[in-house]
Structure 1
């Protein structure tokens, strides 16, 4: 097996001793580093791409963890911090490297390379995320199928009770992190919604509270003419059944929350005493 293939089999980063298990000699590794086939990160550690998160973490002395691992798994994150979170182990040594801005974590006795699982990343991410960001990440990982029921129980047991009490109210059916964020912020002020409700002649809506329907329109959706026409038709059908529909964009939920919250509360108050047609 050639050096690059062997490194790839090891997850993109490998120690010399690991490469030997694939039949790659020390001389072959050195030759690959000289001709650019592989990159020497530090003594005895090689990568195929020095710019990858896994390689930078290995150069630093460990594995990708916490919010960086969550991002690698495609989990929705509200916080956009760009620093790489690296687990160097309890007794691990940090290695200086070019333009280092890594955030160190010290979990586990042994130092490994690669990317932490979603479960392991969530076990430590509560220390680096706000409560709402952590809640959203938890629901996103659940929705992506990265958390089994046992995983969820173990995480609830692992975090402080001030966080665990919110995770017990989490759901796995949010279509986006933006929906999770909206629901969490409304729960903070004591407003509960039914989620993913199917209404005759309207279809599935993101949230319902009495006669008020809420649709969360993310940045990637609802921008084309056909999508806009479909949304308007749904809203018109909802009116015929006695509902009012409020639609909120990414910016309205994330950056203009006070006005968004005020609009929701006003609509719920205005429509509180009218019974929807589909319940008559």
Structure 2
């Protein structure tokens, strides 16, 4: 997520609305402004991705915009740039550019502003597929970055598959891993609660059919002795109340899902 507040890139014309030409030149000499390309300037503390997108000719879009906004996204291998239909694509690196350009007919936003959250999610669905769209959507709902009106607008622009995902989404998922697990287990028809509170245990990531706890440990280091001990105590307390706990980390959920799914299905079959 970007930690820089406010605008970071401007055209020369936009700067001239508040500064004289001599002042712009002075800010460049002092290193407070930098040239991005002809007629475009960036603040010294601007995010690198924002500057790269402006150098390409547009603003951050799709998964790059989602990450910039603080939405939960899977690994992002390339820079996604939102290009307005009336903009020109620039070559901005000596090596071949690997940016993914998103051309659409959206109304042009001032300067280099990001797309709206509904448009970011729409680009994600069309470009990166159902799962990446879904985890970002639930993250946006969790953080209050998309309201009921935005959801209606987004839903109206999606196909049937996308509309089903909007309807299936909830605002209570605490991480993209929880969203991903719940989506992938959808076909089994189990009742799955997220961030469920359990007596003697506390809040758990996912609770399936009222007894199987799924903990998604994410990317953080959960191998320290203190954290490992805390997890073991939680699992033991859960067992006292008749619950079974399965723990999976980021790598397992994202890259070894077959193993995760088999473990869950086999465990669920013990009480069928």
TM range (shorter): 0.7 to 0.9
Q: CA deviation at 1:16?
A: 1.9
Structure of greater Rg: 1
Q: Is the 8 A contact 1:54 1:114 kept in 2?
A: no
Report the equivalent of 2:43.
48
Q: CA deviation at 1:127?
A: 1.3
Q: Which of 61, 69, 79 does residue 65 from structure 1 map onto?
A: 61
Report the equivalent of 1:88.
83
The farther-off stretch of 236-245 and 62-71 is: 236-245
Report the equivalent of 2:152.
153
Report the equivalent of 1:104.
101
Q: CA deviation at 1:88?
A: 2.2
2:91 aligns to what SS in structure 1? coil
Q: Could you list the per-position Cα deviations for residues 189-224 of structure 1 after superposition, in whole angstroms to 9, with x for gaps in the alignment?
A: 444412222221121222222332222222216333
Q: Could you list the per-position Cα deviations for residues 118-151 of structure 1 after superposition, in whole angstroms to 9, with x for gaps in the alignment?
A: 3331122211112111111111111122111222
Q: Is the 8 A contact 1:54 1:115 kept in 2?
A: no
Q: Is the 8 A contact 2:178 2:194 kept in 1?
A: no
Report the equivalent of 1:141.
140
Q: Could you list the per-position Cα deviations for residues 69-98 of structure 1 after superposition, in whole angstroms to 9, with x for gaps in the alignment?
A: 00101211124222x222221121112222
Q: CA deviation at 1:51?
A: 6.8
2:195 aligns to what SS in structure 1? strand
Report the equivalent of 2:168.
169
User: Structure 2-normalised TM-score?
Assistant: 0.87
Q: Could you list the per-position Cα deviations for residues 49-76 of structure 1 after superposition, in whole angstroms to 9, with x for gaps in the alignment?
A: 4872222222222211111100101211
Q: Is the 8 A contact 2:62 2:80 kept in 1?
A: yes
What are structure 1's unaligned runs of at least 5 residues?
1-7, 273-280
The farther-off stretch of 254-263 and 73-82 is: 73-82
Q: 1:150/1:20 Cα in 2 relative to 1: closer, same or farther (>3 Å)?
A: same
Report the equivalent of 1:278.
none
Alignment partners' CA distance in 1, 2:186 and 2:112: 39
The farther-off stretch of 107-116 and 238-247 is: 107-116
Q: CA RMSD in A?
A: 2.3
Report the equivalent of 1:29.
24
Report the equivalent of 1:5.
none
Alignment partners' CA distance in 2, 1:195 and 1:109: 37
Q: Could you list the per-position Cα deviations for residues 211-248 of structure 1 after superposition, in whole angstroms to 9, with x for gaps in the alignment?
A: 32222222216333222222212221222222211111
Q: Is the 8 A contact 2:252 2:260 kept in 1?
A: yes
Report the equivalent of 1:251.
251
User: Structure 1-normalised TM-score?
Assistant: 0.85
Report the equivalent of 1:260.
260
Report the equivalent of 1:229.
229
Q: CA deviation at 1:9?
A: 9.1
What are structure 2's unaligned runs of at least 5 residues?
none
